[in-house]
Structure 1
Amino acid sequence: MAVQENLLLGAKASKNATLTLVFLSILKGVVGFYSGSASLIADAIHTSLDIFTSLAVWIGLKLSMRGSEEKFPYGYYKADNLVSLFVSIIILFSGVELVREALLNIASPVEIKLQGIALGTAVFSVIAMYALSQYKFKVGKQIDSQALIADALHSYTDVFSSLIVAITIIGSLLGVLWLDSAGVLVISLMIFKLGIGMAKDSILTLMDAWLDKDSIERIRQNVGSIQGVKTVDEIRLRKSGLVVFGEIEIEIEGDASLKRVEMLFEEIEKTVKNEVKNLEHLVVNVKPEKISVMKIAVPVLMQEGLHSKVSRHFSKAPYFIFIELENNDIISWDVSENPAAGLEKKKGLKAAEFLKDQGVNVLIAGEIGEAPFHTLRDNFVKLLQMPEEIEDVEQVVKKVSELNTLTAPTE
């Protein structure tokens, strides 16, 4: 189901819940007032606060439906999380008020009148609030709305609070008058526990914390099993309202051509979507496989192996020495003539094409023209600046990790 359809479904659920809560709060308030039941009045206050929380959830979901814009490039989805935090604050506030009322009434309990009507109202409230909480929870889970789920859990506490009200009224029938205020205190404790838990989850989500660690491990395992993916380095997910934004960094085997990367992206996105509901956007950062063996080319003046004198002129050098380096250790080397050295025109370009054909991935050069520079760069050959003070090939190779990268032609 599309995100916009989810938001519409959630907004409709919040609207229906608000109307139901208005009816229940009025019913419990009126019966509580005429019967003198403090717990029923407290439950009516609790339910009336639910009206504001349901309205807040509705507003948050409606805001989330607004598209992205220059000021909010990621949309208004976090309005859902802000509303969830707001709901938790209201829940805690209602708990404080109920405790205050209970402490005032526990010292001087009042006998409940119209006990049958009060008990019937409490039982009806239990049934109605249970049905309402299940409805909101089902829709909240379906669309993955943190605010709607939080609101459903809040309504679920009303089920227990109404049940406690029924018990206190039964206690009044049996002559245990203080049970009414004690019931209010129990309801308040339940409200505090719920509010603190909701506030914690809302704050963590607003700070982009990802709470489902198991899903990260499953994604790492499933993406790592895709053919062509060598390693999965980083996985970052963050929830914004109903939707999730993600970033994954992988290392692939072989070349990183655009067509190959595009094919891998489609498979990776599908894999992540299987684990993460409402994935809105996924960034896949692809790194080519780390080169275990570097093939380095150095222009030289003579054929004396690793002791050859280096040539600072890339295209005019009579020879190139090719060195294979693994973990900074030389494992082999070979000297070849530069086929472009005797040419009058385009010798730099010819020399660059020669190195490309030899599979070179690093060139150490002093002077290099524009055409060979761009030819080698376009073929992913790394260009390093040859140091001024070193003349021996072996000394140059030993310092390869310290050399500066050439970022522009030098001739």
Structure 2
Amino acid sequence: MNAQENLELGVKTSRNATLALAFLAFLKGAVGIYSGSTVLFADAVHTGLDIFASLAVWIGLKISLKSSKHFPYGYYKAENIIALFVSLLILLSGVELLREGFTGSNTTSHIEFQGLALATAVFSVLTIYGLSVYKRNVGTKINSQSLIADAVHSYTDVFSSMIVVVAVLGSMLGVSKLDSLGTIVISLLIFKMGIESARDAVLTLMDAWLDEDESERIKKDILNIPGLIELEDLKLRKSGLVVFGEVTVEVEGETDLKRVELLSEEIKTVVKKEVENLEHIVVNVKPVQRINFRLALPVFDNNGFQAKLSEHLGKAPYFLFVEIKEGKVGDYQIIENRSFNSEKKGGMKAVDLIIQEKANVLAVRNVGEGPYYMLRDNFIKILQIPDGVNTAREVIDRFQNLKEITVPAK
């Protein structure tokens, strides 16, 4: 399904869940009043408040289908504004129920029609659990984090409904104060839910991003993209159901528009892998002068810096990788080129090895058209080894003076 169909399915699911909760809240409220069970009535209020949470998800999914020139970033934050007002109502209701619970704990209560109250409480547990599974399955299918979160919220409500079952059973066994104690426990759960909902709404409206672990994973993945010198900044912010972002990276020297576009697409792919509801991300590319290099050299043997240079990129039996940091030569590594005997696309396979080893500069006699553009697209600088230079040591000594290859060999 496309994004439009996913949103429509999400809207339908939230609507169905809202209607089911409305019916359940009415049923528990009516039975609670009829039987005199304050804990069942408190749970009805709790379920009634859950309607607003489900309704907020429905509104968020619904308005995400709209667009307007006056709101270039969409209507997404309307959900957070609604959630903030709902949170205040939840807190007020929680305080009132808590007061009633403490008042009732000083008196002895008796539940009439205990069988009806118990049946209603058990029916509530089963219904809310079913709604949780329903919302979770659809939310997973359409990648809706808000629907999945609402499903988790419903799952926690299963336990509050089980408190009602215990309270009614306690009344049937003659432990009447369990009814008031159950009301107090549910009131505290309602109060906790209100605080958490208000906190999330306020933080989202203030463009906060609290998942540091996710940010670190994204940064690590971005830095693994070939061609990047540094990740200068990563900013993410939620707006209702979706996420907007901005990334600033450094690359070496001036780069053409096509290469910048390719790099931007790679960065967007990395971020989308972690943030499924990514709506838009801006990639800023800053050209800078590189001072640290990982040099790749095609060589005939594994004799370190004395290794003889290979005349052809794809036919080199080995590659020497040398770390050059701020002009100083550091560690080196020699890796076998397992595809040097390949009859087809040997050069391309050699470039794959160079990319895999995270080299950012290659020194070579000449390079064919296919490998050239593959190296360029991965931001790997190509330097030309001059005539008369035969060993890796000589290339390293002349590294700063080597000329760049700007066109492929024909």
TM-score class, shorter: 0.5 to 0.7
Larger mean CA deviation between 134-143 and 199-208 belongs to: 134-143
**1:218 partnered with 2:221:** no
Within a 5 Å distance, the mapping from 1:9-408 to structure 2 comes to 9-67=9-67, 69-140=68-139, 143=142, 145=144, 147-149=146-148, 151-290=150-289
User: What secondary structure does 2:57 align onto?
Assistant: helix
Are the equivalent residues in 2 in contact too, given 1:154–1:194 (CA < 8 A)? no
1:103: how far off?
2.5
**Would the aligned equivalents of 2:207 and 2:237 in 1 still touch at CA under 8 Å?**
yes
Q: CA deviation at 1:251?
A: 0.9
Shift of 1:236: 0.9
Q: Partners of 2:143 and 2:188 in 1: how far apart?
A: 28
Q: Please name the residue that 1:364 is paired with.
A: none
Q: What one-letter code is carried by the residue in structure 1 that aligns with 2:226?
A: Q
The code of the aligned residue for 1:215 comes to E
**CA distances 1:54-98 after superposition (whole Å, capped 9, x unpaired):** 33432232122211x332110111223233333433332331221
In the aligned structure 2, how far is the partner of 1:3 from the partner of 1:240?
A: 17
Q: CA deviation at 1:281?
A: 1.3
1:8 matched residue in structure 2: 8
Q: 1: CA distance between counterparts of 2:141 and 2:78?
A: 19
* Contact 1:80/1:147 (<8 A) preserved: no
Contact 1:219 1:275 in 2 (8 A): yes
Distance 1:167 1:119 in 2: 9
- Give unpaired runs (5+ residues) of structure 2: 292-325, 327-410
* Number of equivalent positions: 292
- For 2:253 and 2:210, how far apart are their aligned partners in 1? 35
Q: Are 2:144 and 2:277, in contact at CA under 8 Å, matched by a contact in 1?
A: no
Preserved CA contact (<8 Å) 2:60 2:241: no
Q: Is the 8 A contact 1:61 1:79 kept in 2?
A: no
Cα displacement (A) at 1:137: 4.0
Q: Which amino acid aligns with 2:190?
A: I
Q: Is the 8 A contact 1:130 1:156 kept in 2?
A: yes
- TM-score scaled to structure 2, two decimals? 0.66
Q: By how many angstroms is 1:209 displaced?
A: 1.1
Deviation at residue 157 of structure 1 after TM alignment:
4.1
Query: How far apart in 2 are the matches of 1:190 and 1:133?
Result: 18
Identity %: 60
What amino acid maps onto 1:74 in structure 2?
Y
**Deviation of residue 199 (structure 1)?**
1.9
The answer to whether the 8 Å contact 1:84/1:150 transfers is no
TM-score by structure 1 length? 0.65
Q: Please tell me whether the aligned partners of residues 29 and 44 of structure 2 are also in contact (alpha carbons under 8 angstroms).
A: yes
Following TM superposition, by how much is the alpha carbon of 1:181 offset from its aligned partner in structure 2, in angstroms? 0.6
Shift of 1:43: 1.4
Judge conservation of contact 1:29–1:40 (CA < 8 Å) in 2.
yes
- 1:40, CA displacement in angstroms? 0.9
- In structure 2, what residue type is equivalent to 1:212? D
Deviation of residue 154 (structure 1)? 4.3
Alpha-carbon distance in 2 for matches of 1:102, 1:130: 26
